[in-house]
Amino acid sequence: MGLSRLAFIGFLSFTLSASCDFPSSVSQRILFSCQKSVPQALEAYLEASATYQQHDFSVLRVIAESYLQQSFLSEDTHIRKSAIIGAGLSGSSEALELLSEAIETQDLYEQLLILNAATSQLSKTSDKLLFKGLTASHPVIRLEAAYRLACMKNSKVSDYLYSFIYKLPEEIQNLAATIFLQLETEEADAYIHRLLSSPNNLTRNYVAYLIGEYKQKRFLPTLRSLLTSASPLDQEGALYALGKLEDSGSYPRIKALSSRSNPEVVLAAAQTLLFLEKEEEALPILTNLCQQKLLRALYTARFLSQEKGEELLLPIFYNATQEEIRLNTALALVHQGCTDPQVLHYLTEILESKVLHRIFLPTHSTGKAIQFWKECTTFPLMSQEDKMRTLAMYRVAEDTILSALLKLPNDAYLPYLERILASQKTILAAKAIAFLSVTAHPQALSLVSKAALTPGDPIIRAYANLALYTMTKDPEKKAVLYRYAEQLIEDTILFTDAENPLPSPSSSYLRYQVSPETRTQLMLAILETLVSSKTDEDIRVFLSLMKKTHYKNIPILSGLLMRIVE
């Protein structure tokens, strides 16, 4: 795959003479050593840099590109996948060429990584690669490539889609609606209209829901006609979409549906009335359903004004004994801006708790218009794999609670944020620190400084020091980051292959049950800081990390190194 190493190194060494900072003989010696051993070339570079007290970006770029190219040729699938990630992080045209050749692999997971790497960092320059993806043997790769091209408004993707879309199962054809909605062409809209007239009411409901999510007003006439359908799924899907589109022209029909017998349609109609700023008409419906302690109604009440919402929901929260009722009511209240101490204390307790007594998961009504939170009572009976998936979904609940608290007025959320930082729940503490690092609140710096000194989990302290450097650009804080990076780099794998999970490395950090993902995110954040700053000392530290890291991390660091020397 790609150019031969000899030609590659030869071409680059020829271009060095004009920009070389090392003596020419030293540069050439390092370059030729790349042909035999890139690690030896890195060692030679570090020796030369120490001798001449400077860096030679041209030589560094050759080393980084050589590492990447060799990694793409590796027989180790983990190395190849890390190389794909590194190429995406580099954002370079050379890396795009490597990705364009690698997309021809038959490994489905590698192809997915390539599509993500190309579009997340390389933007519209990756069109050619994505069109290659449209000819892949796996339908899922073709659909992924088509979606990414559609997001770039490349209308040529339609012809490719029509060549195979009708050969796929109906549920996959429905998923393709997201692609056609992005294109906004007459041909693409015809596909959406075909789905909206499908004999399958689940298809019509799903597509109506998507139209609302993507806020595509050109389908209003068809959505309005679905309101008169006899199918509750049609009605609920259309109500959701028309509410998201704020279609006041549909008000009479929406009002009529609010008095139907189907409770989900009635609640969806009330929600749509709130989206249309018809609170006085939605309030009696929500009051009736909330007083029945219906979870979906309690959470839908979050769209009421704060005054009306507190009047309705606070008594329910105070008197509730069931956790599902308390959680849905509390989340609705903070969404409205409620700062009641009992409500905030209750939600903060959930975030602080290190023992999962109960797990709440996001749930939808049958027609997807209504959201609420429901307890997962089957968790103890699940397989280990299903438990892991469920716990990942539960993190959504924690994120929702934290996000709701962070949207409250400063004086309301700060005391509770301080409790979260002291809770030693690493993932939530990291998110809270990240929030504080970008807020202008005068107490933010003192809170983060306190977190940087908190006994316990060193990862939280590392995140706090990273935030302090971001906020102050204090060189002393960067020096602290260097130390954390040196500690983390040896036992942190930057990419964990889900198909071939690695054993957890032995590390003092694991005494605090820090997930590999959390260490990885921190390590990458520190590396990105070095890449952005790119002082001589930053580059020296980065190369030192590259020398001592696990060999499976080398391709990713190589991609970042290419960014440093661009």
Q: Where are the beta strands (DSSP E) in 406-523?
A: none
CA distance 515 to 296: 33
CA distance 436 to 443: 9
Token pair for 442: 């005068």
Chain mean position to CA 455: 30
* Mean pLDDT, rounded, of the chain: 88
Q: What is the pLDDT of residue 123?
A: 63
On the question of pLDDT at 503 being above 50, the answer is: no
CA distance 328 to 200: 32
On the question of pLDDT at 20 being above 90, the answer is: no
On the question of pLDDT at 498 being above 60, the answer is: no
Q: Which residue has the higher pLDDT, 395 or 433?
A: 433
On the question of pLDDT at 194 being above 60, the answer is: yes
On the question of pLDDT at 501 being above 70, the answer is: no
Strand partners, 373: 362
On the question of pLDDT at 505 being above 70, the answer is: no
Q: Can you tell me the mean pLDDT for 332-341?
A: 96
Residue-wise pLDDT tens digits, 262-316: 999 999 999 999 999 999 999 999 999 999 999 999 999 999 999 999 999 999 9
Run of H or E including 373: strand 371-375
In 3D space, the residue among 149, 148, 145, 159 whose CA is nearest the CA of residue 111 turns out to be 145
Q: Which residue has the higher pLDDT, 546 or 10?
A: 546
Q: What is the pLDDT of residue 78?
A: 92
Q: What is the pLDDT of residue 124?
A: 58
Run of H or E including 363: strand 360-364
On the question of pLDDT at 548 being above 70, the answer is: yes
On the question of pLDDT at 2 being above 70, the answer is: no
Lowest mean pLDDT across 202-211, 514-523, 550-559: 514-523
Q: What is the pLDDT of residue 478?
A: 93
CA distance 531 to 542: 8
Q: What is the pLDDT of residue 4?
A: 40
Token pair for 23: 């003596």
Residue 339, SS3?
coil
